[in-house]
Amino acid sequence: MNTRVFLRGGLGNQFFQWVYALSLHTNGQRVALDSSFLRKMRSNQATGQLELEKVFTELLLPIQQTSGLWRVEHVATRIAKLLGLLQTESTSLQTVQKVAPFQYGYYQQAHHFTPQLQQQVHALVQPHFRHKDPRLTHYAAIHIRGGDYATSRYNRNQIGKLSLTYYRRVFSILTQQYPHLIWLIVSDDYPWARHIARELQVTQAIFLDTHLGGRETALDALKALRNADVLFCANSSFSAMAGYLGQTQTVYAPTPWFRGPRLAHVNPVMANWHPIESVF
């Protein structure tokens, strides 16, 4: 029987779930991806599509789907867990003798991304993601995450929206260490990103939406983050994914990654990344 890893959320979340599935496969498990719970969410960036297929040439694992299963997601996962058929990401951190047939979590843990998987995943990146925009050379990318980090009560309390104080530290590092680079701001919430720039009196930065004439897509944003010479992550799986896929060895990341105790186990930060103390 295959072990199913359920895909959930948007592109960044799907990436970490896929990496976890590949790690199980590498360790001898028969693994399939299950897209049954993918659905469009008004409150965040999830489109309900298998977005990984737009970034990678192949996913190396079979994909399964049960139509309409998302309608009973919470009931189905609760019953499966009670029956011992489902493991969450919290149980994946514990020592278990047998992998359950259903895996349901976000799996944003750096230890899943072994050097072997890193080499494998990098080789599968679509060719057009590997080429820099010729108008953007030698630049630092700053990811600013807003959106549902502010509008959702759970996200405010547990994920945490990084504050002006945090980004003041980011731009201080940029001023002192990377004044020779172009500063490119990438965001899911450009009104918030522009507010930060005004408050911090940052006038030399370029905004990706303006650079692309208002036609920016999530894939454009990922490409811009991935191909930066220096990357400053938000506490977002999307920018962490860019850090995993990027060629640069210079990545900065907020520490701790999330604000609340429910998510204290989440830490996708690689050992060679540079920490910046989080302020929410």
Question: Which CATH number covers residue 268?
Answer: 3.40.50
Domain boundary among 124, 149, 167: 124
pTM: 0.94
Same domain, 88 and 219: no
List, for the chain, all residue ranges whose pLDDT scores fall below the cut of 70.
1, 42-44, 90-97
First and final CA of the chain: distance in angstroms? 44
User: What pLDDT is attached to residue 160?
Assistant: 96
Domain boundary among 124, 148, 182: 124
Cα(168)–Cα(268) distance, rounded to whole angstroms? 23
User: What pLDDT is attached to residue 98?
Assistant: 79
- How much is the mean pLDDT over the chain? 93
Measured at the alpha carbon of residue 249, what is the angle toward residues 246 and 254, in degrees to the nearest 5?
Answer: 85
User: What pLDDT is attached to residue 268?
Assistant: 96
Domain interval for residue 254: 128-277
Cα(60)–Cα(116) distance, rounded to whole angstroms? 14
164-177 vs 190-199: helix axis angle to the nearest 10?
A: 70
Query: How many domains are there within the chain?
Result: 2
Q: Which amino acid is at 162?
A: L
Same domain, 119 and 136: no
Same domain, 132 and 263: yes
